[in-house]
Amino acid sequence: MAGYIARRLLQAIPVLLGTTFLIYFMVFAMPGDPIVALFGDKTPPPQVLEQLRERYNLDQPFIVQYFIFLGNIFRGDLGTSFSGQPVSEILAETFPVTLRLALMAVIIEMVFGIAVGLISGLRKGGIFDASALVVSLILISLPVFVVAFVAQFIFGIQLGWFRTTVGPGAPTQDLILPAIVLATISFAQITRLTRASVIETDGQDFVRTAASKGLSRSRIVPVHILRNSLIPVVTYLAVDFGVLMVGATVTEGIFNVPGVGRTLYQAIIRGEGPTVVSFVTVMVLIYLVVNLLVDLLYAVLDPRIRYAK
């Protein structure tokens, strides 16, 4: 296991360097003045331009600029937003809200996704299975901002069950609707993953053995089938994290949730390029760490992974 962790950590280093380099390259190695390009059509005040030029060391050769940028990230210096607040400070303020929202979404999608997937898998080809397939295909096809607006309109405006925008401090009851919207993105994927996995496990020898020993179905299903079907669902969490980051940007923007996503959303809408770059860099770094953790968790759950290769 220690060998596996070491190997996996070593593999993560080039990816970490590569992704940060790529983001930096996309922004700062382009022809023309990257600082001006980051503002699009808008003309920022000259002192802002001057400050950014200084910060990004544009007089240095490109590769030196990159290493200074990397050094800043690892010292926790992520630059300042346009209002003058350090990005790391904004992150510290907004991250807990997003974490709460994401956790609620993950719980909702996991509970419903696994339940629906399990029933579909056990009654393959039945009416429930067919309806679940139709619903999941429709949910996959709906872009998250459409789901968000429709939910906001129906449950917020028409029925008045939820507030359409989240109040200050983001009380948990206000986060329910955004969390449900966020959960719909991955719900379908989790359902289908669980279903396929349940069908495969249901055909395994150990399930037949359990049945022939006389165990009741109500014991076989949770203990033998479900537990062994959940491993692919756990690995999906890594992919899901990326989906949640993009989803949170849109959902938090629409529901005005004071989290990381809304901050990024507003920076994008206002054309504050440098802030966008800082946030995307941080998100990608978190994404890499989460992927690493899920990989390690996978190896703990499934010994075959550790010994492969």
Name the residue nearer to another protein (CB basis): 80 or 152: 152
* Residue 86 bridge partners (DSSP): 80
If one asks whether residue 95 binds another protein (CB under 8 A), the answer comes out as no
Distance (Å, whole) CA 77 – CA 65:
15
Dihedrals φ, ψ of 80, to 5°?
-120, 150
* Region 9-68 residues binding another protein, contact defined as CB under 8 A: 11, 14-15, 18-19, 22-23, 26-27, 30, 34, 37-38, 40-41
Closest CA to 198 of 224, 222, 229, 223: 229
Q: Contact with another protein (CB under 8 A): which of 49, 68, 196, 207?
A: 196
Q: Show the site string, 142-161: x = touches another protein by CB under 8 A, - = not.
A: xxxxx--xx-xx---x----
Instruction: Give the shortest CB-101-to-another protein separation in angstroms.
Output: 17
Q: Contact with another protein (CB under 8 A): which of 64, 99, 115, 138?
A: 138
Distance (Å, whole) CA 15 – CA 12:
5
Instruction: Give the shortest CB-264-to-another protein separation in angstroms.
Output: 8
If one asks whether residue 137 binds another protein (CB under 8 A), the answer comes out as yes
Query: In 77-167, where does DSSP find H-type helix?
Result: 87-122, 127-141, 144-151
Instruction: Give the shortest CB-117-to-another protein separation in angstroms.
Output: 12
Distance (Å, whole) CA 1 – CA 4:
5
The answer to whether 243 touches 144, Cβ cutoff 8 Å, is no
The answer to whether 216 touches 195, Cβ cutoff 8 Å, is no
Answer positive or negative: Cα dihedral of 263, 265, 267, 269. Answer: negative
If one asks whether residue 245 binds another protein (CB under 8 A), the answer comes out as yes
If one asks whether residue 106 binds another protein (CB under 8 A), the answer comes out as no
Residue positions counted in the chain: 309
Query: How many residues of this chain interact with another protein, rule: CB under 8 A?
Result: 56
Name the residue nearer to another protein (CB basis): 230 or 282: 282
Closest CA to 224 of 243, 241, 209, 245: 209
Residue 158 one-letter amino acid: Q
Distance (Å, whole) CA 3 – CA 182:
37
Name the residue nearer to another protein (CB basis): 103 or 138: 138
Name the residue nearer to another protein (CB basis): 124 or 208: 124
Name the residue nearer to another protein (CB basis): 162 or 265: 265
**Binding region for another protein (CB under 8 A):** 11, 14-15, 18-19, 22-23, 26-27, 30, 34, 37-38, 40-41, 124-125, 137-138, 140-146, 149-150, 152-153, 157, 195-196, 199-200, 242-243, 245-246, 249-250, 253-254, 265, 268-269, 271, 273, 276-277, 280, 283-284, 287-288, 291
